[in-house]
Structure 1
Amino acid sequence: MTTLAQLKLDWLTQPAKPVCDTSQSQAEAHQQQLTKPPGSLGQLEAIAIQLAGLQGQEKPQIEQVHITVFAADHGIANAGVSAFPQAVTGEMIRNFAHGGAAIAVLAKQLGAQLQVVNLGTASELEAIAGVEANVIGPGTANFAEQAAMTETQLAQALNYGKNCIDQLDPKTIQLFIGGEMGIANTTTASALAAALLQCPAEAVVGPGTGINQTTQQHKQQVISQALQLHKLNQGANPSDPTYLLTMLRSIGGFEIAALTGAYLRAAQQGIAILVDGFIASVAALIALRLQPDLKPWLILGHRSAEPGHSKVVEALGLIPILDLNMRLGEGSGAACAVPLLKLACELHNNMATFDSANVSKG
């Protein structure tokens, strides 16, 4: 593979911003002084302590949230693996811009910034207000027949993810959510998960957009054959950076690569990351394998109903905040978890201490 320098990807090797251990320890000590039994708020306590370390302050806040939805088509759709036609990707991009999609409604309710990025659809789209057109190509190639991307296209996708984070001010943005949209991208994510976890396709392939059992079995077969074609299921080292980038180029998607780049850059810039469901979590696992010190910057918004997600969650080593049987994507599950992050901060910052409330401590 061409070197990272030649592809202008040297930044991939930059470490994540260090967590402030002092602020994290102060937050942990503060939790012990609040008027409640230690640990009684469970994961809400852990979230507040984690955010304190990431923000470098004893009392963290979640006020400014930025959501970026990356959209792109997938050539693997031509293999008959989805219940919807590729035209839906472009139609949903318009829907995002017009405020009708789930993530658009959620972003509005949360007061979050919503950015929509078109990385390439099968049908060329007109200029759409509220949509950034960073078109790499008319979707990826059919990875059942050839590599999904060229090296140049992979570099473009990763760099677009980086650039979206570089547009943000880490002093004001306290949380980043990455979303995705692309017909057949659960097939792509399932193939990537199988290659990352070195497991059979059957272990990670699910219904995606709602395919029937016959199509799901076909989807498994397509992925199994593609893994063999690209030599991604033959005892590879799934933590090797060269393998990871080759894997992403061979069977990945523009939006998944962009999410991978965005996650890495957010941690480098010191912005906490709230990860969405199956597809976003696959991107997060790729990013984590590329840069292990990314992990403290990851918070998992929810557990998807897509069966492969639980296996990816286990590999990430994260605890989902929500489990609502969702499988929409777009960043919607993560967005639903934002109010709980805000409540975690409010409880941490505003509960009385035993001393201030004159409450006896056991």
Structure 2
Amino acid sequence: MARSSTRPTSRDVAHAAGVSQAAVSLVLGDKWRGRVSEATAERVRQAARALDYRPNLAARNLRLGRTRTVLLVVPALTTEFFAGVYTGAARVAAQHGFGVVLYPSPEGVGPARPSPATTEGRPVRAAQVPDPFASAQAALDGVLASSMAADALTAIRGDRLPLVMLDSDPTGSPGAATVNLDIADGIRQVADHLLGLGHRRVLHLAADVPSWTFEARARELAARLAAEPGTALHTARAPISIEGARTATEAALTAPGPRPTAIVCDDDKLAAGAYKALRRLGLRVPDDMSVTGLDDLALASALDPELTTVHLDAELFGERGMRALLAVLEGREPEGGDIPVHLVVRGSTAPPRPRPHG
């Protein structure tokens, strides 16, 4: 039979599936669970596919008072980790009929602020400076944001949009919920691995970024090493870049005093910079210096030797974050508990060389 040239309606789907229009609305709106059977839901989906039915989302959203669009705020688009977060978040959003708008906020800088603007030396009134998020509160249903981009949130969200925070202090988060990786346990695994190998002098190559997640890493590393007699911890801060890490590592390792035998890096990119510094100083990994990272990016297995690092499941992180936001939007309690992480031991760590006598 030739298909009609007119656009199929929900009534057509209901007739083809042998159900009511209300059932079609429940199934295609992903609100059918507990209200219609799985067999009925599948029958509706098959009928919709056969008819090539596409619901009028604009009309439905107008009725519901929603845009079915959420904002994901991350520090950078070029970072492999946050690309994974976006992939996981967008996958879950799509399953529930939501779209995701991605906004990069480098170093936590939000949308353009009007106060410094001038025209021919004269201040410009705030209303004259365009704000790319002026209509965000009307165009979005909610926000999912990394704590490293927290400064952008006030201008984007105001006080109205539901917010879920990633990598954020659960005791002081501005969001309705927080979703965290178990970073503290990851750092404990790193410290225990190095201590088990016999390392007692450790350099912490810390990310020079004001963020809860990096502060938590520093606290946990210091606490774990302090609990072991005879340990010494020195901290060097670096921007999250290979060259910045190289410079900071060279400065730390050429400073007066006993040289560390292991470097704990806040992420894999910092570890790559540490590798470069060690080569320039004529030191070998892991013979002269053990190095660890955190993230388990593709870079970790590209380094030579391959990097011992903590694996963080970025896509699962994004999925859990989006599920939490959808739960908040629906008035449900989000899933609790931190996401487990695990240490991947590779060739960059080994017992320290015995110190020469005399």
TM range (shorter): under 0.3
- Bigger RCO (CA 8 Å, 6+ sep): 1
- The two structures have a TM-score, normalised by structure 1, of 0.24
More helix, by proportion: 1
More strand, by proportion: 2
- The two structures have a TM-score, normalised by structure 2, of 0.24
